[in-house]
Structure 1
Amino acid sequence: MKDKFSTTTQLGLTRRGFLQSTAVAAGAAVLGTSFAETAQAAASNVVRGYGVTTSQLKDWSIMQKSTGVSMEFTGTNNSVGVFLRDVVASQLGDDADIFVFESGTEDVLGPQGIYLKIDEKHPELTLWDRTPDEWKRSETVVDKEGVQYGVPVIGNADSFGYYPDKMDAASDGNDELSWSLMFDDEKTRGRVAYDQTWTYSIGVAALYLMGLGKIGVKDVADMTGEEAAKVVNFLIERKKAGQFRTLHTAFEEQIQLLSSGTVDVINCWEPAVRETNKSLGSDKTRYAYTKEGYFKWGHGAYIAAQAEGRGNLDNIYKVLNYYLGGEYRAIQARDRGYAGPNMDLGVQYAKENGWSAEEIENLSNTEKKVARKFAKPYTSTTTPTNSDAIEEEWQRFLNA
């Protein structure tokens, strides 16, 4: 089966990537508190994680009850280069045991010796053999040479949150909508929030323009500078026309903008829609199926090389195995709408633990939903070859 998370090109760690963010200092400051006394943590069955916020359980004590291992997790955002900068420049592996990042880092940090190779025969990795290859051999967790550096965690295809009653769309959210609602529609002008991170935003704009036949792009996940310039020219025109009410940067901001009614459309993470509906007390907002395609992604869990000398590998592999199991799968699907490997174990867990018939059906629907979205382009990478050129073009949009 074709890899759901394939990427065609990757990036070496660039000088520009180190210099253009203050995330290194901020990440190091957070970790200085969260990852203190590592040796003591190893002895007390604590595993320390660092990575994308939405890979977390809302309550890690659930895992502790199941595995005997507790998690101390520090979240980071999804900006280009943050993963690479934090891990390399701040030497986070000196304290963190597990990194949970998006696709691309395994091609850079794996061969540099910053990640351990996965021991597929480790006695605590009991679910590995039954995990489908489409997940465990995907390019989210395997480098370009086929080396297994990670364990698959979650995946989804991102679009935008919206209010159906303001879009003349079906209230059940099953309509397939166009990205024109984000970029080029009079009824949404001035009512749109657009993520200011280019890795998350420029690709879907390219898909929209490609759908109109206005531009041609060979690889949306790794545009050339010239291709990116055409997309940015369009976005600048739309920005000056007042299409975007605001640019947003954080998950909490996504929820605030949507739940407050400040905007009608926002390209966001699917959990932002779920959290908005919880706060509103009804399903007033929906997460779009789109005509042109999606920002498709996968997260992998990687072991810091330094962890090998801390005497904690058995506990680390218990956590990696937990990511493949039914409890984690069911809870992530329920709370965030994410799919992942071994979804059948999620359904089994829900049945054995007295979940309602509706909740169990929703787990099956999550798998179907993600399969529907994965049928469309495109697949993201955090490390495109032409990132410097794309970033320079994106700065034109931000500065316009």
Structure 2
Amino acid sequence: MTQGKFDSGDANLSRRSFVQGALTLSALTTAAAALPAPLPGMSQQAWAAGTPVKGYGVTTAQLKNWDIMTKTIDVSIEYTPTNADIGVFMRDVMSNDLGETHDIFIFDGGTQNVLGPEGYYAEIIEDQKELTLWERTPDTWKRSDLIRADDKQYGVPVIGNGDAFGYFPDKIDANPNGLDEIPWTTFFEGEKVKGRVAIDRSWLQSMTETANFLKHHGRVNIEDVADLTQEEAKAVADYLIERKQAGQFRTIFTAFEEQVQLLSNKEIDMINCWEPATKEANNKLGPNTVIYAFTVEGYYKWGHGAYVHTKAMERGNVDNIYKVLNYFLGGEYRAYQAKERGYAGPNMDLGVQYAIDNGWAQEDIDLLKWTEEKVARKFEKPFFCKTTPVNASAMEEEWQRFLDA
């Protein structure tokens, strides 16, 4: 998991809550309060129709220096960052009407399931003249359910990854090179790590990973592991309760800092953590002490998409908007994202070629190549997460039963 992903806890509101919630502007404490005002004498529409593209979204989608993009495509971006709280993001777009002041929105896949059909996101124009890299972008990225809803294309892929678990290879007799696939069976049922496993408190994360494991091994009949019905959620919770009572889990953690601490102090042997946590731990323990797993059964695959607000399509700056969207698919953005943040995305091969053509150090080129190989390997497996599951209430209810057991 990355710092650009959702936060666990009460912010993980259900799809129904977003659509039906009557939210007032005075009740919100959001980044919208800090947005710049239009210039004197200009309407908001005229202000938003200028050459710069106005963006709002997760911090991790940013380049550390947007001037790089401006120099390449002759379009600047004014980007207002927000944290990874999906509740705040959805409320900002729906209740604060950020479409009046912003053109594009970048956030975790799942928001389009609500904001697309509700009319906040415009469909992507796939043959728009500035979207030159769309056709060569792999379907695994551009046709992902993370940026589509109701068979409509609402988003352009930006970055993504497949999450699993970290482990100490010597504790499970695994190859220390980290290239072997480790089964989730070891995480949930391994006798050697019994009582030494940490599991994420986020039901979106842990419940769907468990469901995918159970479905893969034919133990539970599940239609969509990321959106469990009441009956399916109960079966998953029953299994987790059984493993909890059997003593498999040492702790249930919440924050990223806890992940790093548990690993760095060697308090656990396995943890379904964010990949950066293993890197932080290895900074303290030494290279490759902790391995981030390739798995047998699949990954909690997430992705950030870039979405265009419907109002932005009426402001006369569409070509520049699409130049920016196309830039997210190109080699320069891909290379700098992988180098600066370690994130992958569509068309990683263009990122590698960009680094070669621009004389980057061989170690940086090798890092890009490995990032491309790693994510491509992960994306061959199921499954994709959902941040706005229809059956969120049932999943939360059953997850709470597990926590209380």
CA shift in 2, pair 1:65/1:165, >3 Å: farther
- Which runs of structure 2 are paired with 1:151-300 in the superposition (5 Å)? 151-278=156-283, 280=285, 282-300=287-305
CA shift in 2, pair 1:12/1:272, >3 Å: closer
Instruction: Quote the offset at 1:216 in angstroms.
Output: 2.5
| 8 Å Cα contact 2:183-2:295 kept in structure 1 | yes
- Measured in 2, the distance between the counterparts of 1:239 and 1:61 equals 51
Q: Bigger CA drift: 178-187 or 309-318? A: 309-318
Question: What secondary structure is seen at the aligned counterpart in 2 of 1:180?
Answer: helix
Q: 1:14 maps to what in 2?
A: 16
Question: What secondary structure is seen at the aligned counterpart in 2 of 1:29?
Answer: coil
- Measured in 2, the distance between the counterparts of 1:258 and 1:92 equals 40
The percentage of counterpart residues that share the same residue type is 54
Q: 2:5 maps to what in 1?
A: none
Q: 2:144 maps to what in 1?
A: 138
Q: 2:347 maps to what in 1?
A: 342
TM-score, with structure 2 as normaliser: 0.80
| 8 Å Cα contact 1:162-1:288 kept in structure 2 | yes
TM-score, with structure 1 as normaliser: 0.81
- Measured in 1, the distance between the counterparts of 2:189 and 2:355 equals 42
CA shift in 2, pair 1:397/1:25, >3 Å: farther
- Measured in 1, the distance between the counterparts of 2:68 and 2:250 equals 40
CA shift in 2, pair 1:15/1:136, >3 Å: closer
- Which runs of structure 2 are paired with 1:115-134 in the superposition (5 Å)? 115-134=121-140
Q: 2:29 maps to what in 1?
A: 29
CA shift in 2, pair 1:289/1:137, >3 Å: closer
- From 379, 387, 391, give the equivalent of 1:386: 391
Instruction: Quote the offset at 1:324 in angstroms.
Output: 0.6
Q: 2:321 maps to what in 1?
A: 316
Residue by residue, what CA displacement relative to the aligned partner does 1:20-56 show, whole Å, maximum 9, x if unpaired? Answer: xx9x999x424134423266787583633213x5434
| 8 Å Cα contact 1:274-1:336 kept in structure 2 | no
Residue 369 (structure 1) aligned with residue 369 (structure 2): no
- Measured in 2, the distance between the counterparts of 1:194 and 1:82 equals 25
- From 327, 335, 338, give the equivalent of 1:330: 335
Q: 1:110 maps to what in 2?
A: 116
Structure 1 stretches lacking a partner, 5+ long: 1-10
Instruction: Quote the offset at 1:108 in angstroms.
Output: 2.4
Question: What secondary structure is seen at the aligned counterpart in 1 of 2:148?
Answer: coil
Larger radius of gyration: 2
Instruction: Quote the offset at 1:144 in angstroms.
Output: 1.8
| 8 Å Cα contact 2:301-2:383 kept in structure 1 | yes
- Measured in 2, the distance between the counterparts of 1:18 and 1:267 equals 33
Q: Bigger CA drift: 332-341 or 199-208? A: 332-341
- From 55, 66, 80, give the equivalent of 2:61: 55
CA shift in 2, pair 1:351/1:150, >3 Å: same
Residue 88 (structure 1) aligned with residue 90 (structure 2): no
- Measured in 1, the distance between the counterparts of 2:61 and 2:269 equals 26
- Measured in 2, the distance between the counterparts of 1:390 and 1:30 equals 28
In structure 2, give the amino acid aligned to 1:14. R
CA shift in 2, pair 1:190/1:328, >3 Å: farther
In structure 2, give the amino acid aligned to 1:354. G
RMSD: 3.5
In structure 2, give the amino acid aligned to 1:200. Q
Instruction: Quote the offset at 1:151 in angstroms.
Output: 0.8
CA shift in 2, pair 1:50/1:239, >3 Å: same
| 8 Å Cα contact 2:109-2:303 kept in structure 1 | yes
Question: What secondary structure is seen at the aligned counterpart in 1 of 2:29?
Answer: helix
Structure 2 stretches lacking a partner, 5+ long: 1-12, 39-43
| 8 Å Cα contact 2:116-2:122 kept in structure 1 | yes
Instruction: Quote the offset at 1:111 in angstroms.
Output: 2.1
- Measured in 1, the distance between the counterparts of 2:367 and 2:233 equals 38
Question: What secondary structure is seen at the aligned counterpart in 2 of 1:77?
Answer: coil
Residue by residue, what CA displacement relative to the aligned partner does 1:240-283 show, whole Å, maximum 9, x if unpaired? Answer: 44433443344455444434544432212323333443455523
- Measured in 2, the distance between the counterparts of 1:377 and 1:389 equals 23
CA shift in 2, pair 1:99/1:191, >3 Å: farther
CA shift in 2, pair 1:183/1:73, >3 Å: farther
Question: What secondary structure is seen at the aligned counterpart in 2 of 1:88?
Answer: helix
Instruction: Quote the offset at 1:121 in angstroms.
Output: 4.7
In structure 2, give the amino acid aligned to 1:75. T
- Measured in 1, the distance between the counterparts of 2:266 and 2:79 equals 34
In structure 2, give the amino acid aligned to 1:13. R
